[in-house]
Amino acid sequence: MPHRKPPTDQPAQQSEPRDAAEWRRELKLPSERGASRLITEDLLEQLGVHGWSPSDIFAIHLAAEEAIVNAIVHGNKLDPGKVVQVACVVSPTVARIEVADEGSGFDPSSVPDCRLEDRLDAPNGRGVMLMRTFMTRVEYNASGNRVLMEKQRPPAEG
Amino acid sequence: MATHRRIDVSKLGDVTIVRFLDKKILDEAGILELGAELFGLVELENRKSLLLNFAGVEFLSSAALGKLITLDRKVKSNKGRMKMSNIRPEILEVFQITKLNKIFDIRKDEAEAISAFA
């Protein structure tokens, strides 16, 4: 009589308890438009599981989306031979997202401030600024093709 | 009238009311399509009074903001007017952070926006 497969075949993240202190995920994304969804859906779910508020989840989602789209479109220039590496950590107090592309990088300080009067109606250049505003910490490596973003939440919030 | 996949278009008097069919406006292909449909209202159909009702929109990325800015420019150069309404607080915050609330005419709800066209 056939036996059911033991549950050990399931991916690790599914067998973890829902109140796990920390969720980690590393993924290589193809350099295609829309690929961010391969990580953001799980990220959003885990932020909810770990008790982040809807407005924090919105903020982290926006920052992650902007960073990944920048890496795919501006970093890897949609080159199918290049990947974007994404690493996420979510706990009840910290959400950390690291995004690295295989492009030549850029100087984040060279992006003009979109809030300046003569730049207000420029259609581009808001992503990096939104990332900096919505996250507690945003750091680029020296060449500018890797960004580490972190949002911290006081444990006693609410 | 053009067929739309990303927006629902209706008219109330002289005002064209646009509602968004996507809850999350972030997929780049979708944003390109959205932009083309919005621009068509101005460039092909010559609509002068546009109200963008964001009811039901939960998320939009900076690429979507870019399309709204370009639309605003096209409306203004066509001597039209554009207003926005029913924007949820998180998205309103994005407009405030980027200071786009200075160039967009943002109203609380559809009724207030409609009366502001008068």
pLDDT tens-digit readout, A50-87:
999 999 999 999 999 999 999 999 999 999 999 999 99
In single-letter form, the type of residue at position B12 comes to L
pLDDT at A9: 46
CA distances from B14 to A47, A146, B1, B51 (A): 44, 50, 16, 11
Residues 47-106 of A with CB under 8 A from B: 54-55, 58-59, 61-62, 65-66, 69, 73
pLDDT at A114: 86
CA distances from A111 to A69, A125, A126, B68, B78 (A): 16, 7, 9, 20, 30
In this structure, the dihedral spanned by the alpha carbons of residues B37, B39, B44 and B45, taken in order and rounded to 10 degrees, is 80
Per-residue pLDDT band for A11 (boundaries 50, 70, 90) equals very low
- Residue A16 above 60 pLDDT? no
Please give, rounded to a whole number of angstroms, the shortest distance from the CA of B107 to a CA of chain A: 19
CA distances from B24 to A76, A134, B87 (A): 24, 18, 13
Average pLDDT over residues A121-145: 92
Contact, B80 vs B48, CB < 8 A?
Answer: yes
| Mean pLDDT (chain A, rounded) | 87
Residues 38-77 of B with CB under 8 A from A: 58-59, 61-63, 65-67, 69-70, 72-73
Extended strands (E) in chain B: 7-12, 15-20, 24-25, 49-53, 59-60, 81-85, 105-107
- Asked if the Cβ–Cβ distance from B89 to A69 is below 8 Å, we say no
- Asked if the Cβ–Cβ distance from B27 to A66 is below 8 Å, we say no
Per-residue pLDDT band for B8 (boundaries 50, 70, 90) equals very high
Domain segments of chain A as ranges: 21-152
CATH of A21-152, one of 3.40.640.10, 3.40.50.880, 3.30.565.10, 3.40.50.620: 3.30.565.10
Question: Measured in whole angstroms, how far is the alpha carbon of residue A121 from the centre of its chain?
Answer: 27
Of the listed ranges A117-121, B9-13, B28-32, B83-87, the least confidently predicted one is A117-121
Contact, A39 vs A29, CB < 8 A?
Answer: yes
Per-residue pLDDT band for A155 (boundaries 50, 70, 90) equals low
% of chain A exceeding 90 in pLDDT: 70
Residue entry with tokens 């992503």: A127
pLDDT at A20: 55
Per-residue pLDDT band for A102 (boundaries 50, 70, 90) equals very high
Topology adopted by domain B7-117: Transcription Regulator spoIIAA (3.30.750)
Please give, rounded to a whole number of angstroms, the shortest distance from the CA of B99 to a CA of chain A: 6
pLDDT at A15: 46
- Residue A8 above 70 pLDDT? no
> Reduced to 3 states, what is the DSSP secondary structure of residue B77?
helix
CA A46/CA A52 separation, integer angstroms: 9
pLDDT at B1: 60
Exposure b/e, B21-32, CB count within 10 A at least 16 = b: ebebbbbbebbe
The residue that leads in pLDDT, A100 or A153, is A100
H-assigned helices in A28-143: 37-49, 54-69, 127-134
Cβ-in-10-Å burial (0-12, 13-18, 19+) of A121 comes to middle
Average pLDDT over residues A89-112: 94
Domain segments of chain B as ranges: 7-117
Count the helices and strands in chain A (H runs, E runs).
Answer: 4, 5
Residue entry with tokens 């900076």: B62
What pLDDT digit, counting tens, does each position of B11-55 carry? 999 999 999 999 999 888 899 999 999 999 999 999 999 999 999
Structure tokens at A48: 């909810």
- Residue B85 above 60 pLDDT? yes
pLDDT at B27: 84
Nearest to A120 by CA among B95, B96, B103: B103
